[in-house]
Amino acid sequence: MSSMGLTSLTYNTLLKMFSENKRFDGRELLEQRDLSVEYEVSYKAEGSARVKLGKTEVVAGVKLGLGEPYPDSLDKGNLMVSGDLLPLASPRFESGPPKYNSLELTRLVERAIRESGVIDLSKLVIKEGEKVWTVMIDIYPINDDGALIDAASIAAMAALLHTNIPELDKDGRIDYEKKSTKKLPLLENTIPLSLTFYKLGETIFVDPTREEEEACDGKIVWGISNYKGKEHMIHSCQKGMEASMSSEDIDKMMKHLPKLYDDTLKKLKKFLK
Amino acid sequence: MAFKRPDGRKLDEIRPITAKVGIIPNADGSAMFTFGKTVAIAAVYGPRMLHPQHMQDPKTAILRVNYDLLSFSVEDRKKPGPSRRSQEISKVTEWALSPALDLKEFPNTVIDVQIYILQANASTRVAGINAASMALAQAGIPMRDLVCAVSVGKMDKDIVIDVNDEEEHFEDGEGATDTATARLANSDRFTLLQLDGKIQPSLIPKALEMANKAFAKIYEIQKKTLKGVMEEKE
């Protein structure tokens, strides 16, 4: 795999195939690749997961730290999502200061998690106004074959669902020696995921391979959950890339998003312990 | 019972808008746009040669947007310089504006759009896009259309237009959802869609419908303001 951009030949072939509802790998336009999840990428993390979506592979880890609350939320713990597109994962990624794509990835994963309220931050207070837990989620792609944000959000949620809060010693410091079984306080039956619809020419589709994604000129990332197990709820959304979207495009996404979410959740649930 | 807006507006009522172009003599195009107490200004420089040369694209001009809050535009002083938030807004604003421009007309060049918020009372990014769209037109850059932008909110269960500060922090019921939208004025092409909060998928088309009505009003104001400047020149 070279780091050269897409050739016009590949682009034109993809454009033609998509207009005929065909894909190189034989999938339907709205069909997601196989998903698998593993845990304990690092036993040093409070929770961690590895997600494979086709050939795309992402690891996410959760660390909990002690800190002060923010002045505007003295009665809540903190949440931070960061990550980096490591040059390890693709010839297209470069080292150096984070570029827009890594900012987009971490901000969108963070917003879906934060806005859904899945982490009950009010239960992460040790001493109000003074000492709280900070939940730090870090996301790293290991192999980029498209749809990184979708894979990253699944990895982040899988890691969160298996996160324990460390024990404190008598001086109030983290005691890593003590084995903790205290789960991170999560809102029940609410699993927010970021799922993306892409646009190539006039065709809307999901879960692109790297090549398909590079040919695209528009996408919308949706953060959605089965809020409290009751109804589908959108928590975040962001249009990316130059192409504009018609009302019809957006209506189509709204029609298919709940099903895409349910299917993804079903696949993810097979791997939940 | 329907949501009662803190400033007494109807659900589909935009705050008072003021618009002005040509506010920065040095710029090739410039404009100010306000939604109530939110004040955005924008300047356009270019098309001009892009340096360093290796960043040039022989096929097209590059649109480069910078959005930021002035440090005293918000309650807690904003540390000057780019934040994660402002970098994200700058990028989505680029994408909100570029479908209106024919960038291929100006190969190897850059069009710089600088947007700053003087006073923030929510909906700053959409005020900035409205200002930038007028500034691009005043700069004489060929445009397919003007870009109109507005925020749509959901307060508990009700859809409202042009969210203000107080509404942004509304927490009762299903709480506040804030959606930033932009569209080409005369075609069904959304160029910005960004959302935070809690909203059912079935309500998205309704929110966009309300935005569409606001776009028509904003477009008339943008057009009138730009025409006013043309007439002054003559």
The one-letter amino acid at B88: E
Q: CA B175 from chain center: how many Å?
A: 24
Question: What digits encode the pLDDT tens for the residues A228-267?
Answer: 999 999 999 999 999 999 999 999 999 999 999 999 999 9
Closest listed residue to residue A266, CA positions, set A112, A154, A103: A154
Residues of A in contact with B208 (CB under 8 A): 247, 250
**Does residue B64 lie in a domain region?**
yes
For chain B, say whether A250 makes contact (Cβ under 8 Å): yes
Query: Under an 8 A CB cutoff, do A233 and B198 touch?
Result: yes
CATH of A9-269, one of 3.30.230.70, 3.30.70.20, 2.30.40.10, 3.30.470.10: 3.30.230.70
Of B92, B95, B200, the CB nearest to A233: B200
**Does residue B6 lie in a domain region?**
no
Q: CA B108 from chain center: how many Å?
A: 26
Query: Under an 8 A CB cutoff, do B200 and A232 touch?
Result: yes
Structure confidence at residue B135 (pLDDT): 98
Q: Give the number of beta-carbon pairs within 8 Å between A and B.
A: 87
> Picking from A3-7, A52-56, A97-101, which range would have the lowest pLDDT averaged per residue?
A3-7
Structure confidence at residue B179 (pLDDT): 98
Whole-complex ipTM: 0.87
pLDDT bucket at A30, cuts 50 / 70 / 90: very high
pTM for this predicted structure: 0.92
Query: Under an 8 A CB cutoff, do A247 and B188 touch?
Result: yes
- Nearest-CA distance from B198 to chain A in Å? 5
Residues of B in contact with A259 (CB under 8 A): none
Query: Under an 8 A CB cutoff, do B190 and A257 touch?
Result: no
Q: What is the mean pLDDT of residues A22-41?
A: 96
Q: Domain count of chain B?
A: 1
Q: What is the mean pLDDT of residues B9-36?
A: 97
For chain B, say whether A220 makes contact (Cβ under 8 Å): yes
Q: What is the mean pLDDT of residues B119-131?
A: 98
**Does residue B2 lie in a domain region?**
no
Residues of A in contact with B191 (CB under 8 A): 239, 244
Query: Under an 8 A CB cutoff, do B87 and A100 touch?
Result: yes
Question: What digits encode the pLDDT tens for the residues B2-13?
Answer: 899 999 999 999
Q: What is the mean pLDDT of residues A17-35?
A: 95
Q: Quick count: other Cβ atoms within 10 Å of Cβ A29?
A: 17
Listed by number, the residues of chain A in 104-143 with a beta carbon closer than 8 Å to a beta carbon of chain B are: 104, 107, 111, 115-116
**Does residue B43 lie in a domain region?**
yes
**Does residue B32 lie in a domain region?**
yes
Domain, as residue range, for B161? 17-233
